Amino acid sequence: MTPKKTSEEDELTFEQALEKTALEDKAKAKVIADEEGRRRRSLPVLLRGFRDILPDEQGKWNLLRTTIQQIADAYSFDRIELPLLERVDLFTRTIGKQSDIIQKEMYVFEDQAGDKVALRPEGTASVARAYINHGMMNLPQPVKLWYMGPMFRHDRPQAGRYRQFHQAGFEMIGNEEAIVDAQLIVLAFQILKEIGIPITVQINSIGTAECRREYLVELANYFRPFRKKLGEDDKKRLLKNPLRILDSKDPAVQELLAGAPQIVDWLDDVSKAHFMKVLEFLDEAEVPYALNPYLVRGLDYYTHTVFELWEDGDNGELSQNALGGGGRYDGLLELLGCRPTPACGFAFGLERIIRAMADRQIDPPARPVAKVFFAQLGDAARRVGLRLFEEFRKAKIPVAEATGKNALKAQLEVANKLNVAYTLILGQKEVLDGTIIIRDMDSGAQEIVDMKKVTSILQRKLEQSEGVNPLSHTPVADQKQGTDIIAK
Ligand code: HAM
């Protein structure tokens, strides 16, 4: 704007002026982009493989958790809560040094006292530790325990595979009989059936350590001539733990599997009889299962029965997406210094079940939807409102409100959108009179009632109004709309 600048600009040709403007625009855009980049870099970021469970999903989680809890109670399992951190050797001693979990997936660190600790990658080892620490061998056997909570594995994140995920696990410790294996499988099947997810149990027996020894030699002999065809991981497995080759996802290995020796042919008589009994019990209970000779599971502590829960009609990625898995682990407690103690268990992967629920549109509402809206005008009304909300809670009448909106019109608009049956209106006059207005949202009719009687009157009205139960649910889509509006 200075005369000098104007004269300089006057001297530019049209092309030069255009170029100058373009350069200035570019510089401005860069400043804005840098600013945006800085802003973004300073925003908090969620760790890879970790996720928030948002209000939208809570209906599914509630149904899943409640169903698990109810069926656990019905089958007389006792709940146990275990710490998230354990000494690292608890897991290295039990899960197996060559397993993926121990080799690469555990979150391990040294705490301030110099103890090497790990975020738990699973629950079975902790349950076994607790059984020993609390002398549960002195209780009537089997001890039936269940747990639910987050687990941590530094795995490669992908669909259905997280670094923090949740498991619900069931363990029966102190009984070696096949009925225990069968009862756990029936329980898993029933929980998923109750929720509405049809599954087939994939099942195998890997016998005892003794009968496996001979089989492993045979298996390694079979794969050795094909060594060149194996990937790096499978080559390592061939040397250290040939059983895990059966679990390989490599198509070249999967082709070779057809000719590989099968563990069932190496089972001793006791292992065979145990497995046959488990299958007979499953037939009896009408649980659909498929014999899967390649199922070996990724943890080393298993003996005899191993199983996984595969959703019916999955898209071929079944083994990567098991909704749960488990088996017998007769040697695990002994590894931890206990006398020989047979045990069996399984764990669900809750995120995977939630995903299956979403695929099947199983989506109950997260909480009872309010049929009553409370509109208050002024601070005196707000004060009374605090007390009234407590009265309504005790009477089990969920009430919505729009704190932050002062005008009656605006509050009634929210009430309309929430589709409530009644709105309570409390102004300064009503506070002074000890009354409150009940507005019927369908007819628009209003009546003034004694504030002391409002809870019982509302209760009666809600009971009377056809099909309206104060605790009934409305579809999630409607709730969402309501929440959004309140949020605004
Ligand atoms: P697991 O097969 O390692 O067994 O895990 C059980 C289930 O947890 C899996 O079937 C899967 O649904 C879920 N899961 C595992 N890793 C992930 C992940 N990274 N992201 C999401 N879900 C996952 C065990 O943990 C044994 N403790 C089960 C058991 C109990 N065996 C005997 N008793």
Given the CA of residue 101, which atom of ligand 1 is nearest to it?
Answer: 3
Per-residue pLDDT band at 317 (split at 50, 70, 90): low
Q: From CA 198, how far away is CA 205, in angstroms rounded? A: 23
User: 441 pLDDT exceeds 90?
Assistant: yes
C-alpha pair distances (Å), 470 with each of 257, 401, 411, 443: 59, 16, 21, 19
pLDDT digits over 221-260, tens only? 999 999 888 898 888 888 888 888 998 888 888 889 989 9
Instruction: For ligand 1, pick from 167, 204, 329 the residue to mutate: most ligand atoms within 8 Å of CB.
Output: 167
Atom 15 (ligand 1) nearest CA: 349
In sequence order, the β-bridge partners of residue 117 are 87, 109
Q: What is the pLDDT of residue 478?
A: 37
Atom 10 (ligand 1) nearest CA: 324
pLDDT digits over 452-473, tens only? 999 999 999 999 875 544 444 3
What's the pTM?
Answer: 0.85
Contact 332, 122 (CB under 8 A): no
Contact 61, 149 (CB under 8 A): no
386 CB-contact burial (10 Å; exposed 0-12 / middle 13-18 / buried 19+): exposed
Cα angle for residues 460, 463, 469 (degrees, 5° grid): 135
pLDDT digits over 57-100, tens only? 999 999 999 999 999 999 999 999 999 999 999 999 999 988 88
pLDDT digits over 352-369, tens only? 999 999 999 999 999 989
Per-residue pLDDT band at 483 (split at 50, 70, 90): very low
Atom 31 (ligand 1) nearest CA: 326
3 state DSSP class of 108: strand
Please, what is the average pLDDT of the chain?
A: 90
Residue 247 in contact with ligand 1 by CB distance below 6 A: no
Above pLDDT 90, what percent of the chain? Answer: 75
Residue 162 in contact with ligand 1 by CB distance below 6 A: yes
pLDDT digits over 265-282, tens only? 999 999 999 999 999 999
Separation of CA 52 and ligand 1 centre (Å): 20
Average pLDDT over residues 375-380: 94
Q: What is the pLDDT of residue 15?
A: 84
Per-residue pLDDT band at 7 (split at 50, 70, 90): low
User: 397 pLDDT exceeds 80?
Assistant: yes
Per-residue pLDDT band at 477 (split at 50, 70, 90): very low
Lowest mean pLDDT among 104-118, 235-249, 327-341, 405-419: 235-249
User: 434 pLDDT exceeds 70?
Assistant: yes
C-alpha pair distances (Å), 442 with each of 132, 317, 399, 423: 63, 51, 17, 10
Per-residue pLDDT band at 292 (split at 50, 70, 90): very high
Instruction: For ligand 1, pick from 94, 101, 148, 165 the residue to mutate: most ligand atoms within 8 Å of CB.
Output: 165
Residue 165 in contact with ligand 1 by CB distance below 6 A: yes
Contact 35, 141 (CB under 8 A): no
Separation of CA 12 and ligand 1 centre (Å): 72
Q: From CA 263, how far away is CA 219, in angstroms rounded? A: 9
Separation of CA 151 and ligand 1 centre (Å): 9
Atom 17 (ligand 1) nearest CA: 161
Q: From CA 19, how far away is CA 30, in angstroms rounded? A: 17
